[in-house]
Structure 1
Amino acid sequence: MIRLVAPVAAAFFVTACATSPSGPSASAQLMATTGNAVTGQVQFTQKGDKVLVTGEVRGLKPHAEHGFHVHEKGDCASGDGMSAGGHFNPDGKAHGAHGHGEHHAGDVPSLKADATGTARFSFESSTLSVGSGKADVVGRGLIVHRDPDDFKTQPTGNSGPRLACGVISRN
């Protein structure tokens, strides 16, 4: 029986390791800006030439869409999140929708809150990196905005005030 179990167990572990993210990783703890109640956690994991971004954000307006961006500075010291600067844009591109034509590296998909005001998400980005290169997110800011991103207005997407801010740190 042990002879049969060992190969099956080995195959399971090899498969599990092959499908699990194993590159450098970083995370951000989102804290509410002054007068807001939005919080959350976000993970960034390098998987080959893409970055897997997963997380959960709470305290959002139920059934609403919220702009969500990586910002140039890992600074959340100001009460309004403005110390995080503008969108992270190492290539000097126009603002746009993630995965659709030209866009800032920091233009990531908007958050969509459920009935409880929680957004759970998982997506891949080919414009970000973790731990190296000009598109490295480590040390950058992560911002949740009040309004949906229109993906047109330059340079911000008209996403409104900043509800939460986090600094992306290497794990």
Structure 2
Amino acid sequence: MNRLAKLISVLLVAIFLTACGTNNEEETDTQNQENTSSESNLNNEEQAVETNATKEEEVLVSLENTEGAVVGTATLKGKSSGVSIHLEAENLPPGTHGFHIHEAGVCEPPTFESAGSHYNPTGAKHGFDHPEGPHAGDLENIVVSDDGTVNVEVMAEMVTLEQGAENTLYTEDGTSLIIHSDADDYISQPSGNAGDRIACGVIGE
């Protein structure tokens, strides 16, 4: 009887230890699943933050006049509908002026011809009023106050700040912002009769 009692005791202990081991494994598996789920959620949140940061990327552009003096700053921000451009400038001639994105990121005074023509990756005609327009780089005219200042926001709906994307402003040659001496008539070729280039700033410099 003593041997039988001992044998039963040993078996009970073995069964108890096996049950504890199974419970520990189940708890470990549950913890691993919870940790994996938490890591996945964190990764998704990080990706969402990165995506939002890309959409809300800001680029500052410093604009200089024909004498090389800084006259303003443009803040470019990527939007779902294109790129918003917030221009703040001073010491400009009062009146209405053409404002465009040009195809080269080079601003050499005094003429700024180094900036090339309007940014036009689609091969369109110039002008919002042209049936085959506009250029991707065509922007609305800006109005400078009598005191020579301007504070305005315009939308460039056909471009993006996303590198490598279609119509990106980050091309091999770069791009730039140009303010002209006269108003853009939105139809004349190749640049709307907007006159001389009086201010220039390289995008992404």
TM-score range (shorter-chain normalised) is 0.7 to 0.9
Q: Which of 86, 99, 111 matches 2:117?
A: 86
- Extract unaligned runs of 5+ from structure 2: 1-52
Q: Once the 2 structures are TM-superposed, how far is the Cα of residue 41 of structure 1 from its aligned partner?
A: 0.5
| Cα distance, 1:113–1:78 mapped onto 2, change above 3 Å | closer
Rounded Cα–Cα distance in structure 1 between residues aligned with 2:122 and 2:155: 19
Greater fraction helix: 2
Report % sequence identity.
34
Partner of 2:89: 57
Name the structure, 1 or 2, with higher relative contact order (CA <8 Å, separation 6+).
1
| Correspondence list, 1:1-171, <5 A | 23-34=56-67, 39-62=71-94, 64-97=95-128, 102-132=133-163, 133-138=165-170, 139-169=174-204
2:184 & 2:139 partners in 1: Cα distance?
A: 10
The verdict on how the C-alpha distance between 1:37 and 1:161 changes in structure 2, with shifts beyond 3 A counting, is: farther
Summarize the Cα distance change of 1:162–1:50 in structure 2 as closer, same or farther, 3 Å threshold: same
Q: TM-score, normalised by structure 2?
A: 0.65
Match of 2:114, SS state, is helix
Letter in 1 for 2:59: A
Alignment: residue pair count: 148
Contact 2:86/2:153 (<8 A) preserved: yes
Q: Provide structure 1 residue ranges, at least 5 long, that are not aligned to the other structure.
A: 1-19
For residue 24 of structure 1, report the CA deviation from its aligned partner. Answer: 2.2
d(CA) in 1 for partners of 2:144, 2:103:
25
RMSD of aligned alpha carbons: 2.4
Instruction: Select the structure of larger CA radius of gyration.
Output: 2
Query: Shift of residue 134 of structure 1?
Result: 3.0
Aligned residue identity for 1:61? P
